Amino acid sequence: MYSSLNTKQCTLLLLVGMKGVGKTFIGSILERYLDVKFLRIEPIFLELLQLEPKLQGIPLEKRGFQMVLAKLDELAQKHPVLCIESTGTAHTFPDLLAALRQGFHVLLINIQAPIDTCIQRVRSRDASAHIPVSEDRLREINELALSVSLPWDLKINNSELQDEAFIAQAVKELLQNKSEKP
Domains of the chain listed by start with CATH number: 11-180 (3.40.50.300)
- Count how many Cα atoms sit within 13 Å of the Cα of residue 139 in the half-sphere of its side chain: 3
Q: Residue 180 has what pLDDT? A: 61
- State pLDDT tens for residues 82-107: 999 999 999 999 999 999 999 999 99
- Alpha carbons 167 and 176: distance in angstroms, whole number: 14
**pTM, 2 dp:** 0.93
- Alpha carbons 139 and 69: distance in angstroms, whole number: 28
If we measure between CA atoms, which residue out of 40, 92, 88, 87 comes closest to residue 66? 92
- State pLDDT tens for residues 75-85: 999 999 999 99
Q: In what order do the strands lie in the sheet with 154-157?
A: 37-38, 81-86, 11-16, 105-112, 154-157
Give me the DSSP letters along 135-155.
Answer: HHHHHHHHHHHHT-----SEE
If we measure between CA atoms, which residue out of 132, 138, 137, 134 comes closest to residue 115? 138
- In the predicted model, what is the mean pLDDT of the chain? 92
| Range of lowest pLDDT (58-62, 66-70, 131-135) | 131-135
Q: Residue 22 has what pLDDT? A: 93
- State pLDDT tens for residues 21-42: 999 999 999 999 998 999 999 9
User: Residue 181: pLDDT above 60?
Assistant: no
* Stretch 38-54: mean pLDDT: 94
Q: How long a stretch of residues is the chain?
A: 182
